[in-house]
């Protein structure tokens, strides 16, 4: 999702440094390949925001440069939408042994489509949460505190700190009133609440999922973040079998790619 953004904040949440593009990495996320893959597999009917829909179409059909397109969104501010955070939990789980690296690679992945510092901060936070849970974090206040340490000063960071202080709140309406639930489709209106649900219900996939779903708002996004982070903890935190039996099958191109990663394909 890609809402219209206000002016860029004075202190961008980009790895605690500046709002410039992350420096090239010698390994990890290849941003050019990632942009090409996003464009190749873009499905207009999947509910993308209009700005990213247009951007991916231009990359695929016109060979446009993602750097120029992503940087030009919303009058040159970049998108602060929640899409980069929504998709990144598996990347965090992949780097279960190194939450700092998970956050850094999430930043690179976000920048391909979402260059506003808040969107980058949201992606870093979700990837860090998934990595921490995958490496044995018990959840709760410890999880949110550790995540906050990997996110620069920003509205996302402030929201995560508020979420940590609200873990004992049982009234979802009160939590949503303070943290948001994605109704504005911005990273800072989405990620703190999603990580609150994941931290409060760590180890309990159905509980975390329903906490997010019952809150309303951008439910597909909050549930994607919550489900991805909680499930990163391992098979005991996976969705119930009866749920997985009702899910859409992964496309062949994705199962082939996953097979190459784990050595079975």
C-alpha to C-alpha distance for 158 and 2, rounded to whole angstroms? 21
Do 223 and 40 contact (CB within 8 A), yes or no? no
Query: Exposed, middle or buried by CB within 10 Å (0-12, 13-18, 19+), for 66?
Result: buried
C-alpha to C-alpha distance for 154 and 117, rounded to whole angstroms? 8
- Using CA atoms, how far residue 212 sits from 18, 139, 216, 221, in Å, is 32, 16, 7, 9
State yes or no: 171 annotated in a binding site: no
- Strand-pairing partners, residue 81, are 186
DSSP symbols for 174-187: HHHHHH--STT-BG
Query: Exposed, middle or buried by CB within 10 Å (0-12, 13-18, 19+), for 105?
Result: buried
Do 212 and 223 contact (CB within 8 A), yes or no? yes
State yes or no: 204 annotated in a binding site: no
Measured on CA atoms in the order 46, 259, 253, 21, is the torsion positive or negative?
positive
State yes or no: 220 annotated in a binding site: yes
Phi-psi region of 234 (alpha: psi -120 to 50; beta: other; left: phi over 0): left
- Strand-pairing partners, residue 186, are 81
How many contiguous H segments (helices) and E segments (strands) does the chain have?
15, 0
Please name the residue that has the structure tokens 């976000």: 110
C-alpha to C-alpha distance for 202 and 94, rounded to whole angstroms? 18
Show binding-site residues. Answer: 218, 220-221
Annotated binding site for Mg(2+): 218, 220-221
């Amino acid at each position: 999702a890609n809402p219209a953004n206000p002016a860029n904040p004075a202190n961008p949440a980009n790895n605690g440094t500046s709002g410039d593009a992350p420096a090239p990495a010698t390994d990890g996320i290849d941003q050019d390949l990632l942009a090409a893959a996003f464009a190749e597999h873009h499905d207009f009917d999947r509910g993308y925001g209009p700005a990213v829909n247009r951007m991916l179409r231009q990359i695929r059909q016109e060979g446009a440069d993602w750097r120029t397109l992503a940087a030009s969104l919303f009058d040159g501010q970049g998108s602060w939408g929640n899409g980069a955070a929504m998709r990144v939990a598996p990347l965090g789980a992949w780097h279960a042994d190194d939450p700092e690296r998970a956050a850094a690679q999430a930043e690179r992945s976000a920048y391909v489509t979402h260059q506003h510092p808040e969107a980058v901060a949201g992606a870093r936070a979700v990837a860090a949460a998934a990595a921490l849970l995958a490496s044995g974090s018990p959840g709760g206040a410890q999880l949110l505190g550790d995540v906050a340490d990997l996110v620069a000063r920003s509205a996302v960071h402030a929201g995560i700190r508020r979420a940590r202080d609200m873990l004992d709140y049982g009234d979802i309406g009160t939590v949503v009133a303070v943290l948001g639930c994605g109704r504005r489709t911005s990273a800072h209106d989405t990620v703190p609440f999603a990580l609150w649900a994941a931290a409060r219900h760590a180890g309990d996939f159905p509980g975390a999922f329903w906490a997010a779903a019952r809150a309303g708002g951008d439910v597909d996004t909050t549930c994607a973040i919550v489900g991805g982070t909680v499930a990163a903890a391992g098979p005991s935190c996976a969705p119930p079998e009866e749920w997985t039996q009702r899910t859409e099958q992964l496309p062949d191109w994705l199962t082939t790619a996953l097979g190459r990663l784990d050595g079975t394909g």
